[in-house]
Structure 1
Amino acid sequence: MLMLFFTVIPLASAAQDNQKVITVGLSADFPPYEFHKKIDGTDQIVGSDVEIAKRIAADMGATLQIQDIPFDSLLPALNSGRIDMIISGMTPTEERRQNVDFSESYYISRQVIMTRVEDKDKYTSVDSLQGAAIGVQKGSIQEGIAKDIKGAKLTSVDRIADIVLSLESGRVDAAVMEGPVAEGQVANHDDLAITSATIPDSDTEMAIAVKKGNAELLGHINGTLAKLKQGDQVKKFVQDATALNSGEQQKSNNIFTIFWDYRQYYIKGIQYTLLLSAAGVLFGFLIGLVVALFRLSNVGILRWIAVTYTEILRGTPMLVQLLIIHYGIAQTFHIEFSVLESGIITLSINSSAYLAEIFRAGIQGVDRGQMEAARSLGMSHGMTMRSIIIPQAVKSVLPAIGNEFIVIIKESSIVSFIGVADLMFQAQAVRSITYSALNPLLIAAAIYFIMTFVLSKLLGMLERRWSVSDKR
């Protein structure tokens, strides 16, 4: 039922919308190429790569849509058809060429070593990094460079902000990073510096990735890039984006200042988080109740379906379920859910597996004599379950249901992995804007705590209200 509901929505909206749209995927924590910036009070994704994407869409007479996706999820998103192209400072390596097609290169970047100021003279060459702990972005060309350093201990993370936090906290000794990206970080962190170390043959090309065999789109892209190269406009885009980013340095990293200045980000994130959690528990409640009844059925095939469903969902990580629903179904069955729909479906089915067992325990906890008494009065089995057994079961397991709601609020943060603008996603955006690696996360943690604390108190009040009749 839930899968059918969300399958019809994208198909219906696609039929109604004839506007030509080109969707670009990028990881918007990579200034000056792509990054979040607050402009006229609204969050926008800007940067040199964004400007190139705008030119490509304009030349094609299409509307540009931007999806902010973690870097190591960009290729799965492209191959599953969720985006049309990737423009995120991506290097066209031979390994990547086996899976996607690349445009002509549009920019050449250099790689540098960034470290703490006090260690700037310690790492003056690649050889001096032997045995050091090095931070890199997961799935990037920098990760490949660091792997070639003898004895290096790699810490691969999704976002540049996490590399900076690891460096400042002493968890890594240095980081391999794009030159302009490192310059932006150093300009906004007094405790960081770029070393004099040079990485041999580290100048890397940047190109735009499209799905394998999409020659038509590739032709449009290369045509636009050729025009941009003639006027040396890409270099100007990078310079303009660098200047735009350099003016964003946070005057104060005070946690209260950050919260107030970027409160709209957190408000929007709270709205998405509550929507995801409420929808997840609602659909999970309905599906879980059906699964619980299947589990208690006298029909063997229904019991087998319920047991298999429950064990698979409880025995696999939610992240894996999310990626299968969002990317796997799109690639295999060509059914594309929006990021919000994928998040709701994942939370719903995952929650339903746990709620099914909660309901089963509640139903089995109701005295069997009540079923027998109802049947002796002429009530059918279905009527007895609806009117007598299930209401008592729900009442008895209300604390467990409330606890599942609280768990879903916290676990909903996982959907930020596919680009849902929930509270965690917004916190990451604020990190990119303010160059404050820790405080935006502390604010998000405080908000999660407030939401779950208030909910637990409300559930406690409801439980006490329902229990009044038991004391009469």
Structure 2
Amino acid sequence: MRKTKFIPFVIFLMASIFTLGFATKTNAAEKTYKIGTDLTFAPFEFQNSDGEYIGIDVDLIKQIAKDQDFKVDLRPLGFDSSIQGVQSDQLDGMIAGMSITDERKKTFDFSDPYFDSGIQMAVKNDNKDIKDYKDLKGKTVAAKIGTESATFLEKNKDKYGYDIKQYEAADAMYNALTNGNVEAIFDDYPVLGYAVTNGQPFKLVGDPEKGSSYGFAVKKGENKELLQKFNQGLKDLKKNGSYDKIVSEYISTGSGNSSTASEMKKIEPKKDVYVVSSDSAFAPFEYKDSDGEYKGIDVDLLKRIAELQGFKIDFKFIGFSSAMQALESGQADGMIAGMTITDERKANYDFSDPYFQSGIQLAVAKDNKDIKSYKDLKDKTVGAKVGTESADFLEAHKKEYGYTVKSFDAADQLYDALKVGSIDAMMDDYPVIGYAVKQGQDLKTPIKREVGGEYGFAVKKGQNAELREMFTEGLKELKRTGEYDKIVNQYIGSGSTEKKKDAVDESTITGLLKNNYKSLLDGLWKTIVLALVSFALALVLGVIFGLFRVSPVRGLRTLAGIYIDIIRGIPMMVLAFFIFFGLPGITGIKIPDFAAGIITLTLNASAYIAEIVRGGINAVPVGQMEASRSLGMSYNRTMQKIILPQAVKIMIPSFINQFVISLKDTTIISAIGVVELLQTGKIIVARTTQSSYVYLIIAIMYLILITILTKLANRLDKKVK
């Protein structure tokens, strides 16, 4: 009986011991260590295009963790923050290209060195003359200012007989070597190796000059087991060849067949949000879709680059000219709007690498079978937009091919002219034509396009250099991965544009209204608010200056006269530009576009209302003022009780007329980026190319609005009288 009970007990005990041992082993295997690292220190740690952290340090710690059976919770906090994290016990260890020094050994316990840094020489790939330092005699060698490389070159200058050229940044130094301005360069060995791996046409010469060694660190006296696991894992990786494989993936000598992997250089943003100005209607580069969202080649490129580089953008779609002025006045940090890079613009702006090679192209109606080359244009009429590269090209070849040139102010007019047959062919920027084709325009391009200018991302000269560099680096990454071509082909090309399943046909008035009524109503509401608020403020200001204008006090009359002459003497668009772009440059205070529009309309209308008030008061017979004063009434009492009540009845029709004028003047405010009703229409036309229907809808909306408001004002006039 006991024996029978004893056997199950022994089995149970053995199973429990086995289970406990297994659980202990599993728990040990599953132990997770929090490891700090730097944010951007390529090639040791940096983010790839998918937002994942990679690099020599990252790959090493992950492989060691796998080899030694523990888990890593990687914390990319930055070098200084990682040091503080280890010291405050918030991190178990750190790996961030950290040099092992006697001073740091007082605070940290280091692993065995996992990387020996140093400086090294690099020359161009095709250079066969320089094989060691002796070959540098009579040559020019470059290094970055204030670096260990610069110190080394100065120290050995007389010994090897070379000249030294120093640069502030690595990209300038690399360009100097590529362009032949220097014959060799010196830099940190891993940084040079990473540059070679990323496609720089260099090769490393000689052995690196010994520098500091990098080590994995833990807080002094703590996490000894983690340090032991790192050392053992490092030995294992070096023994099985994994270590060399990891390092060679990021660092190449350029002398053999190295990895072709190329990773983007990460730039540290200096602002939380960058304001970027752009055009408001330049399809396919920037335009509003039927949902009211801005999209296009420029928009998609910059948004994706911002994701890759880790910075935020605040787009301001205010039109090309306004975008340039916003950049110039400091209201924008950068600009992207299909902006051609020219020598004249380079004097005021710093450009990124070109992101689009533009060009011009001839287009004809889809059913046209006669025009297949420029020679077929003889005795035909060809259209182009005024002041464009297309217009210049057509003028230059007019005699050669015997056609007549017809110029148009806007793209919608040009495309409509071809549609109705008033011209036989047209010429425009090829991406714009490509987008028009994707939107259903019956066009074809029988002749190969002419090469044009290059588009670039711009910042103000000498400012926001990091933003320009972030764009350039992100652009390189998009081109390398093929994502750039995907974005461009989405808007330009022979393929069909992807449409929503419930997409509405916008080639009809009904379709346009159904897809865009919300945008049109938003634009209408902004127009009404602009008109009402500005006119109410102008009424107060205008009445005050109108009373000043007829005041018996000479100083007040002079002040009112100067104000009215200045405001009426400045065109309203110029006034809007000065308030929105000029004042921030003078005062340093940025004014929102809507507020600037209100101020502009208020000032402009107040000057005319002041004259209406003066005219209304002067229309009251002078004898009434004289009679009132002779009865002993004061000037102010006479104006209040006798003159103004009569003058107001005279002024009301003029006030109504001025209100209608102010309502129409809101269209001018679109020049500074306020998206009122007309600007909304332009944006819709840019996307749909249906100019005739869109402007007809807007004309009817203005007609209805003005008629309703005029009727209401007339009823008010009758009640007052």
> Aligned ranges for residues 79-118 of structure 1 at < 5 Å?
79-117=328-366
Taking a change above 3 Å as real, the CA distance of residues 108 and 408 of structure 1, as seen in their structure-2 partners, is same
Is 1:69 equivalent to 2:318 in the alignment?
yes
> Aligned ranges for residues 69-468 of structure 1 at < 5 Å?
69-117=318-366, 121-122=370-371, 124-125=373-374, 128=377, 134-136=383-385, 142=390, 145=393, 148-150=396-398, 155=407, 157=409, 160-168=411-419, 174-196=425-447, 198-199=449-450, 202-214=451-463, 215-242=465-492, 245=497, 247=499, 251-372=505-626, 375=629, 380-467=634-721
Report the Cα offset of residue 64 of structure 1. 2.0
Of 49, 59, 76, 2:298 maps to 49
Q: Is the CA contact 2:370–2:376 (under 8 Å) kept in the aligned structure 1?
A: no
Report the Cα offset of residue 268 of structure 1. 0.3
- Secondary structure of the equivalent of 2:339? coil
Letter of the structure 1 residue corresponding to residue 650 of structure 2 = S
Q: Measure, in 1, the Cα distance between the counterparts of 2:325 and 2:389.
A: 17
Q: Is the CA contact 1:293–1:360 (under 8 Å) kept in the aligned structure 2?
A: yes
Taking a change above 3 Å as real, the CA distance of residues 327 and 172 of structure 1, as seen in their structure-2 partners, is farther
Report the Cα offset of residue 432 of structure 1. 2.5
Of 258, 281, 294, 1:29 maps to 281
Q: Measure, in 2, the Cα distance between the counterparts of 1:327 and 1:119.
A: 47
Report the Cα offset of residue 374 of structure 1. 5.3
Q: Measure, in 2, the Cα distance between the counterparts of 1:415 and 1:149.
A: 39
Q: Measure, in 1, the Cα distance between the counterparts of 2:496 and 2:634.
A: 71
Q: Is the CA contact 2:372–2:446 (under 8 Å) kept in the aligned structure 1?
A: yes
Q: Deviations over 1:124-146 (max 9, x none)?
A: 229948995532376x6556555
Q: Is the CA contact 2:505–2:512 (under 8 Å) kept in the aligned structure 1?
A: no
Letter of the structure 1 residue corresponding to residue 431 of structure 2 = P
Q: Deviations over 1:317-356 (max 9, x none)?
A: 3222222222222334433221111211111111112111
Corresponding residue number in structure 2 for 1:11:
none
Q: Is the CA contact 1:27–1:34 (under 8 Å) kept in the aligned structure 2?
A: yes
Report the Cα offset of residue 87 of structure 1. 1.4
- Percent identity of paired positions between Structure 1 and Structure 2: 32
Q: Show structure 1 runs of 5+ residues with no match.
A: 1-17, 468-472
Q: Measure, in 2, the Cα distance between the counterparts of 1:120 and 1:411.
A: 46
Q: Measure, in 1, the Cα distance between the counterparts of 2:687 and 2:622.
A: 60
Report the Cα offset of residue 369 of structure 1. 4.8
Letter of the structure 2 residue corresponding to residue 204 of structure 1 = G
Q: Measure, in 1, the Cα distance between the counterparts of 2:391 and 2:555.
A: 49
Corresponding residue number in structure 2 for 1:6:
none
Q: Is the CA contact 1:22–1:84 (under 8 Å) kept in the aligned structure 2?
A: yes
- Secondary structure of the equivalent of 2:691? coil
Report the Cα offset of residue 435 of structure 1. 2.4
Q: Measure, in 1, the Cα distance between the counterparts of 2:608 and 2:587.
A: 27
Q: Measure, in 2, the Cα distance between the counterparts of 1:219 and 1:71.
A: 23
Q: Measure, in 2, the Cα distance between the counterparts of 1:302 and 1:426.
A: 42
| Structure number, greater radius of gyration | 2
Taking a change above 3 Å as real, the CA distance of residues 27 and 196 of structure 1, as seen in their structure-2 partners, is same
Letter of the structure 2 residue corresponding to residue 135 of structure 1 = A
Taking a change above 3 Å as real, the CA distance of residues 291 and 169 of structure 1, as seen in their structure-2 partners, is farther
> Please, what is the CA RMSD of the aligned residues?
3.1
Report the Cα offset of residue 52 of structure 1. 1.9
Q: Is the CA contact 1:137–1:163 (under 8 Å) kept in the aligned structure 2?
A: no
Q: Measure, in 2, the Cα distance between the counterparts of 1:384 and 1:195.
A: 79
- Secondary structure of the equivalent of 1:92? coil
Q: Is the CA contact 1:365–1:393 (under 8 Å) kept in the aligned structure 2?
A: yes
Q: Measure, in 2, the Cα distance between the counterparts of 1:298 and 1:403.
A: 29
Q: Deviations over 1:85-117 (max 9, x none)?
A: 221222201122122111111232332122444
Q: Measure, in 1, the Cα distance between the counterparts of 2:413 and 2:445.
A: 17
Taking a change above 3 Å as real, the CA distance of residues 25 and 156 of structure 1, as seen in their structure-2 partners, is farther
Corresponding residue number in structure 2 for 1:470:
none
Q: Measure, in 2, the Cα distance between the counterparts of 1:144 and 1:330.
A: 37
Taking a change above 3 Å as real, the CA distance of residues 351 and 148 of structure 1, as seen in their structure-2 partners, is farther
Task: Please say which of residues 229-238 and 327-336 is displaced more in the overlay.
Answer: 327-336
Taking a change above 3 Å as real, the CA distance of residues 20 and 397 of structure 1, as seen in their structure-2 partners, is same
Task: Please say which of residues 246-255 and 262-271 is displaced more in the overlay.
Answer: 246-255
Taking a change above 3 Å as real, the CA distance of residues 190 and 102 of structure 1, as seen in their structure-2 partners, is closer
Q: Is the CA contact 1:133–1:171 (under 8 Å) kept in the aligned structure 2?
A: no
Q: Measure, in 2, the Cα distance between the counterparts of 1:434 and 1:307.
A: 48
Q: Is the CA contact 1:78–1:84 (under 8 Å) kept in the aligned structure 2?
A: yes
- Secondary structure of the equivalent of 1:397? helix
Q: Show structure 2 runs of 5+ residues with no match.
A: 1-269
Q: Is the CA contact 1:59–1:224 (under 8 Å) kept in the aligned structure 2?
A: yes
Q: Is the CA contact 1:280–1:345 (under 8 Å) kept in the aligned structure 2?
A: yes
Structure number with greater CO (CA < 8 Å, separation at least 6) is 1
Q: Deviations over 1:374-398 (max 9, x none)?
A: 5567654334434543343223211
